[in-house]
Amino acid sequence: MSTRFEFAKKDYEAWGIDLKEAFETVKKVPISVHCWQGDDLKGTEVVQNELSGGIDVTGNHPGAARNGDELRADLEKALSLIPGKHRINLHAMYAETNGVAVERDELEPKHFQKWVDWAKKHDLGLDFNPTVFGHPKSDDGLTLSHPDPAIRRFWIDHCKASRKIGEHFGKELGTPSLVNIWVPDGFKDTPSDRLTPRRRLKESLDEIYSDVYDENHVLDAVESKLFGIGSEAYVVGSHEFYMNYANQNNKLCLLDTGHFHPTEVVSNKLSAMLLFHDQLALHVSRPVRWDSDHVVAYDDELREIAQELVRNDSLDQVLIGLDFFDASINRVAAWAIGTRNMVKALLYAALLPHDHLKKLQDEGRFTERFALQEQFKTYPFGEVWDEYCRQQSTPIEREWLDIVKRYEEDVQLKRIDKAVHS
């Protein structure tokens, strides 16, 4: 414990803030770390398909994972740099089928057994997502809302198989798997019929969820989006659609921070949603330009999201996951930066005098409220964050990047063919 931390501790304790209690609060919050940052959403399917559904990954930083074993090794390294005990979020396109092409509607738990064995070894929970993009049957931009019953049937069966896989994860690992459904369905230009595709999507979801699973094994979530490349004018699964569907059908509504208008912020939605939903889920990203999925930065909106969760005692109600993919920088570093920032924001929120700030608001003392909010922005939080990392046996801020650089040199760069690398 450093002398500088002892001085910082006194600054916070002057406001009645118990740092030990704050550390324990944040330590209990698992972040679901998305596997797809590690390989640029290529997946491990035998038949490789081009990305679609408005998804794109840019950059060509060397050393991306080329298979499941390398991806898991990179995740292990990233997790060693992040304080706390977290989870891993998988997409169906990360099935490992021993070189045999298996269609997505035929996927089974056995195709993810390597992930389960690895998760058991490292005491990790696994979350899951059907991969409803990057496939010939999604090329025209419609899947669960497609007018062709055969195409709808394929994607319904894929989603049903995905929930079965999630159940296997939950049973094997002793922690429920969040199975989240997002589909890219929409139109590039103004539709002549908005209702019918949404009716088809609702009917597809109803059939998918007709299989009943124990919530101790599976937690179901649905994810909305405002627009995408190729669906600029109309998205079938809008926020209003999924918010109502989730509420009516006892599902989790998943809010992706990049899936709204540029002036909308998810932090402002949480308190309203939590009044009507027992649980919510998040995909935290950074929408520099709409849903551009940049690595999560320690910015105002991230801190505000964390503050909403902490001051409203809703950390147990909101499942936090990440969703970004950047191939212009080292991918392990991207995981470390983004996830550390999410944890950092939660700790920052846990060190604020929320009860006092609420009292100031109720009493109309807005000048004092504003002044105090600004005052805490320059408190010695960095010293507290470093001490939290030390207590979690995790590298502090000035240490972790050197570890990534060594890993890149010793492991990642050796994946590249020498002739190409030279």
CATH number at residue 221: 3.20.20.150
**Residue 316 predicted with pLDDT over 90:** yes
What domain count does the chain have? 1
Report pLDDT for 52: 67
Hey, how many other C-beta atoms are within 10 angstroms of the C-beta on 128?
27
* Structural domain includes residue 113: yes
**The one catalytic residue among 34, 259, 277, 344:** 259
- Catalytic residue chosen out of the listed positions 323, 383, 387, 408: 323
pLDDT above 90 covers a percentage of the chain that reads 90
8 A C-beta contact, residue 93 and residue 38: no
- Confirm whether 259 is a catalytic residue: yes
Would you say residue 89 lies in a domain? yes
Out of 96, 127, 220, 256, the active site residue is 256
| 283 flagged as catalytic | yes
Tell me the residue length of the chain: 422
Does residue 398 sit within a domain?
A: no
340 lies in some domain: yes
Question: pLDDT, tens digit, for every residue of 150-163?
Answer: 999 999 999 999 99
Task: Give me the pLDDT at residue 163, please.
Answer: 98
210-235 per-position pLDDT tens digit? 999 999 999 999 999 998 888 999 99
HSE of 359, CA atoms in CB hemisphere, 13 A: 5
Q: What is the pLDDT of residue 51?
A: 66
pLDDT digit string, tens, across residues 21-61? 999 999 999 999 999 999 988 999 978 877 666 667 778 89
Annotated catalytic residue, options 36, 155, 182, 400: 182
pLDDT tens digit string along 331-351? 999 999 999 999 999 999 999
For residue 145, being part of any structural domain is answered with yes
pLDDT in tens, 247-304: 999 999 999 999 999 899 999 999 999 999 999 999 999 999 878 899 999 999 999 9
Task: Please report the pLDDT score of residue 420 as a whole number.
Answer: 36
Does the annotation count 293 as an active-site position?
Answer: yes
Distance CA 84, CA 64 (A): 25
Task: Catalytic residue, from 225, 239, 277, 344: name it.
Answer: 225
The catalytic position among 42, 202, 283, 344 is 283
Predicted local confidence at residue 31, as pLDDT: 98
pTM (2 d.p.): 0.95
pLDDT tens column, 74-109:
999 999 999 999 999 999 999 999 999 999 999 999
Q: Is residue 35 part of a domain?
A: yes
Out of 74, 96, 127, 293, the active site residue is 293
Rounded (10°) CA dihedral 352, 354, 358, 361: 10
Q: Specify if 131 maps to a domain.
A: yes
Q: What pLDDT does residue 277 have?
A: 95
pLDDT class of 1 with cuts at 50, 70, 90: low
pLDDT of 421 > 60? The answer is no
Q: Which of 220, 223, 326, 383 is catalytic?
A: 223
Establish if 263 belongs to a structural domain.
Answer: yes
What pLDDT does residue 262 have? 87
> Residue 226: which domain range?
23-350
Q: Which residue in the list 291, 301, 326, 408 is annotated as catalytic?
A: 291
Give residue-wise pLDDT tens across range 376-412. 999 999 999 999 999 999 999 999 999 999 999 999 9
pLDDT of residue 322: 98
pLDDT band at 127 (very low <50, low <70, confident <90, very high): very high
